[in-house]
Amino acid sequence: MSWFGRDKSKLVSAEEAIPGRDQPLTTPDLHAVYPDRRIKPPFPEGSRTAVFGLGCFWGAERLFWMTSGVYSTAVGYAGGHTPNPTYEEVCSGLTGHTEAVLVVYDPKQVSYEQLLKVFWEGHDPTQGMRQGNDVGTQYRSAIYYVDDTQREEAEASRATFQSALSAAGHGEITTELAPLREFYYAEDYHQQYLSDNKNPNGYCGLGGTGVSCPVGLGVSE
């Protein structure tokens, strides 16, 4: 399939996706903002992980590393078919991936439901295969759950936020909700891209709806 002249707002099938590679891309082990913390396993005992896609992953990652209770973050690619894709391949629309953020958090300090609130309020989840001026399948909104508990909480949170969006005159949520198959780490220069020692004034295309997402109204304990 040609990299040019195709509609990047349409997802490719597994058969159409480019082949990728067996070896992971070279990435650091430590976080640029919290240099004593790992962005790859092993993580501290008791920590949990979550994976979200909410547009350009530069600003999305910063949103989460600034969230209290989050131990570490990393950017990468999820939801597609091509193993170990490069940034250029993902941007071609021929891998099926979206730009994603891996969030490592302490559930004693921040709940998954609270992370979902950050997710919903940090972008516009009604835009389909785009986020603002960024257009293409790699910018789609997505939640990739790691177990049934996350799935149930994500579904409940989506329903709650849809009610809030509808009341404010917004459209239907288009967020992809699916099990996490694989998270592929992005290249070194993308990790913590907007940190002070890299690009503190770099591009951030995030923009929310201004609608608050209620918490505490979803799945009961």
Examine residue 120 and state whether it is found in any structural domain, yes or no. yes
Supply the CATH number for residue 181's domain: 3.30.1060.10
Choice among 56, 91, 204, 213 that is catalytic = 56
Examine residue 148 and state whether it is found in any structural domain, yes or no. yes
Strand order in the sheet with 176-179: 176-179, 141-145, 48-54, 98-105, 70-78, 183-185
Examine residue 220 and state whether it is found in any structural domain, yes or no. no
Residues 145 and 25: their CA atoms lie apart, in Å, by: 23
pTM, 2 dp = 0.94
Is 213 designated active site? Answer: no
What band does 4 get if pLDDT is binned at 50, 70 and 90?
A: low
Q: What is the pLDDT of residues 30-73, one digit of tens each?
A: 999 999 999 999 999 999 999 999 999 999 999 999 999 999 99
- Residue 51: HSE in the Cβ half-sphere, 13 Å Cα cutoff: 25
- Sequence-ordered list of residues with C-beta below 8 angstroms from that of 41, at least 6 positions apart, any chain: none
Q: What is the pLDDT of residues 78-129, one digit of tens each?
A: 999 999 999 999 999 999 999 999 999 999 999 999 999 999 999 999 999 9
Which range of residues forms the domain containing residue 134? 48-190
How many independent structural domains does the chain possess? 1
